[in-house]
Amino acid sequence: MDARRVTRAVPRVRQVGFFTPNAPPEQPGPVRSQSGPPNSNSPPLSGSPASNSLSPVMIPPPRHLSDNLGARTGAVPVPGRANAGDHATVGSYNPADSVLGLESPPPTRIGDGESSEETESSLGWYRRNNPAKFASSFPGGGFDLSPVKQPEIVSGVEAKNQPPEKNEVQKGQASSSKPSKAKTTKAERRALQESQRAAKAASKAEANKSGGGAASSKTVKQPSQKKDAPPVASSVATSERIGVDRPAEKERKKDVPPPRMQFDDESRVGKAKRRSVLNQTEARNSIELFRHLPPHKNGTQLPYLESKFFELHDKHPAVYKVGLQYLTGDLSGGNARCIAMLQAFQEAIRDYSTPPEKTLIRDLTSKIGGFVSFLIECRPLSMSMGNAIRFLKSRIAKLPPILSESEAKAALCSDIDRFINEKIVLADKVIVRHAATKIRDGDVLLTYGSSCVVEMILLYAHELGKQFRVVVVDSRPMLEGKKLLRRLVAKGLSCTYTHLNAISYIMHEVTRVLLGASSILSNGTVYSRVGTASVAMVAYAYRVPVLICCEAYKFHERVQLDSICFNELGDPDAIAKVPGRVDVNYLDNLSDKQKENLKLLNLKYDATPSDYISMIVTDYGMIPPTSVPVIVREYRKEYLLI
């Protein structure tokens, strides 16, 4: 029953920060029907004296949900306050925000985004007050279906009563929830089963939560269902069993990220191979230490995959294209990859039509799952992409079933757009403005590799007229710094280019180190392009502050202590060859025996310990690495429910 305590504690806090002014009156219609039991919980809370006193535990709502943040003084994320050093600037969130307001995403846009969001967000908040954890745990989107059960049932009843031809008309209009539902009895049964399962789960959850009240609601709901659909009784039973199998305590365990596939686990690798699309080449003399990681798939698979294009019917062309881009390495960079993936999914969703006898929610989820596993085959996902996929899946799961297919698709597409816009584009803008306050005249800024956020920061600071110099540090085999260097020089920034080994030499003159990140883990470890750790270490040794610039959607609740447990392997052959250096050809012609002894390791990422990091600049402000778990914990739910 401690689960109950947790679920109550969280809503109380939320309620204070956001809900009091307008929530109860404007609950949207469909939700209200279901809101009975949770409401029995929440009103005493909102009425409680805690509503107006800002308790230290209070977590203010995420800022993007209410962009008119200037009015709210307590808008600074709590973690920021913990950081004594950066207190002042963290506190100066509002100025930055106002700058943001003046700038390109015009206030009108934000405004109308907000107004259109108004219902949506309050709905979101409302749901969070409900036992959101329960809801998120049902893959079929169980809980949220329950409110909608009534209209559905009605339509079902209508369908039964109406003559078949009218049925067809209704389907054409798509006026009721799902087109497929009214068509055949099988589909109908399925839909009913679906809704019943959801209701079951919901009532189960509520029963767990608040014993008596929910029990009564259950008793109210149950008979109506049974009455409507006697033939589905057996399936109800099965669904009930599934529901029983998930006690509420386990819901919290869902927060623990599932274990990743370990590639030294032969049985699972075998299974994966059978499923896989690509040719699984046996990794040539793989390194023992990295057996657990998937071997690199190089571009030589491209023709093979291209030839299979017409066999892979289930892969949408857009997804297919993105996959090939991953495979060949044409598309790199966390944000670019994530945006490309989301846009491909968006396109796939636009072209999607629910096959007969299937429901959109389940079929689309499995479809997306298929896309994702295809993309994983092309290149392992970054953690930020995992977050984005989780977001998308939860959006699909939470689609109200009353929506018609086209509405649902439009909702999903706009969700994806919103995610890209808010979590990546706007977040970058905020980060840029934050970080620019840390750049002073005469600074020498060092960056490693090529991070798009850092590049934006540098260009923005340059536009502001700050006088500074940039040191671009680069390393093999990616040599991403060259491209960054070219872009910066073209914009007129004064740059120094060097390689990673010279970092100790160049660090003497550096005053700030700005680094990007692929992901930030909840123990403060920064998971980033290999070499970042070395740069941060040397900077730490020379007492140069290290600023990590990273969007909050890349934060992940995993933890990692070294760079070996999880990583990504690059193309080993890229190590042996040094392009542009004809004199370095020592490894060109080795005998077979020599090749057996020689192993080439091309790691893509490494984990920077949090000791080396002075500050993380993210869209919620500037925080110390110790505050990462706070951000992860408090804002994870939010982006699942945007």
Interface with another protein by CB under 8 A: which residues?
Answer: 287, 289, 474-477, 482, 485-486, 489-490, 492-506, 508, 529-531, 533-534, 537-538, 541, 562-564, 567, 575-576, 578, 580-581, 584, 586-587, 590, 594-595, 597-603, 606-607
Helix (H, G, I), strand (E, B) or coil at 67: coil
CA distances from 486 to 63, 295, 300, 480, 482 (A): 36, 32, 29, 10, 6
Q: Which is nearer to another protein, 206 or 568 (CB)?
A: 568
CB of 541 to another protein, least distance (A): 5
Minimum CB–partner distance for residue 48 and another protein (Å): 50
Q: Which whole-number Å values give the CA distances from 144 to 24, 123, 537, 592, in the listed order? A: 19, 11, 48, 61
Instruction: For residue 429, give the H/E element and its range.
Output: helix 427-436
Nearer to another protein, 154 or 584 (CB): 584
Taking a C-beta distance cutoff of 8 angstroms, is the pair 74, 13 a contact?
Answer: no
Which residue's CB is nearer to another protein, number 411 or number 485?
485
**H-only helix segments in 245-356:** 248-253, 266-275, 301-307, 317-328, 334-350
Choice between 323 and 531, CB closer to another protein: 531
Please report, for residues 146, 217, 346, 466, 586, the alpha-carbon distance to residue 33 in angstroms, rounded to integers and kept in the order given.
9, 11, 31, 57, 74
Question: In angstroms, rounded to a whole number, what is the distance separating the alpha carbons of residues 157 and 151?
Answer: 10
CA 505 – CA 502 distance, rounded (Å): 5
Residue 154 or 590: which CB sits closer to another protein? 590
Residue 257 Cβ, how far from another protein at the closest point, in Å? Answer: 21
- C-beta of 103 vs 509, nearer to another protein: 509
- Which of 559, 575 has the CB closer to another protein? 575
Region of residue 357 (phi > 0: left; psi between -120 and 50: alpha; otherwise: beta): left
State which H helix or E strand residue 407 sits in.
Answer: helix 405-418
Contact 639, 416 (CB under 8 A): no
Taking the least distance from each CB to another protein, the nearer of 6 and 537 is 537
Mapped onto helix, strand or coil, the DSSP state of residue 622 is strand
Considering beta carbons, is residue 239 or 567 the nearer one to another protein?
567
We find the least distance from the C-beta atom of residue 79 to another protein, in angstroms, to be 26
| Nearest residue (CB) to another protein, 259 versus 492 | 492
**Residue 223: enclosing H or E segment and its boundaries?**
helix 211-228
| Separation CA 254–CA 239 (nearest Å) | 20
Per-residue CA distances from 278 to 62, 296, 379 (Å): 42, 12, 11
Q: Which is nearer to another protein, 465 or 492 (CB)?
A: 492
Q: Do β-strands 526-529 and 605-608 pair in parallel, antiparallel, or remain unpaired?
A: antiparallel
Q: How far is the CB of 475 from another protein (least distance, A)?
A: 4
Residues 450 and 531: their CA atoms lie apart, in Å, by: 12
- Residue 157 or 561 with smaller CB distance to another protein: 561
Min. distance of Cβ 539 from another protein in angstroms?
10
Q: How far is the CB of 544 from another protein (least distance, A)?
A: 13
Pick between residue 237 and residue 289 the one whose CB is nearest to another protein: 289
Separation CA 46–CA 49 (nearest Å): 8
d(CA 102, CA 434): 15
Q: Measured from the CB of residue 366, what is the shortest distance to another protein in angstroms?
A: 36
Taking the CB of residue 303, how many other CB atoms lie within 10 A of it? 9
Burial of 445 (0-12, 13-18, 19+ CB in 10 A): buried
Task: Say which amino acid occupies 594.
Answer: Q
How many Å is the Cα radius of gyration of the chain? 27
**Cis status of the peptide bond prior to 131, with omega within 30 of 0:** no
Provide the pairing of β-strand 443-448 with 468-474: parallel
Query: Nearest Cα to 552, choosing from 452, 440, 636, 480?
Result: 636
Write down the least CB distance from residue 34 to another protein, Å.
Answer: 50
User: Shortest gap between Cβ of 611 and another protein (angstroms)?
Assistant: 9
Cα(555)–Cα(520) distance, rounded to whole angstroms? 5
Minimum gap (Å) between residue 474 Cβ and another protein = 8
Minimum Å distance from CB 588 to another protein? 10
Cβ at position 492, least distance to another protein in Å: 7
Give me the least distance between CB of 458 and another protein, in Å please: 13
Taking the least distance from each CB to another protein, the nearer of 157 and 502 is 502
Total residue length of the chain: 642
CA torsion 313-314-316-322 (nearest 10°) is -100
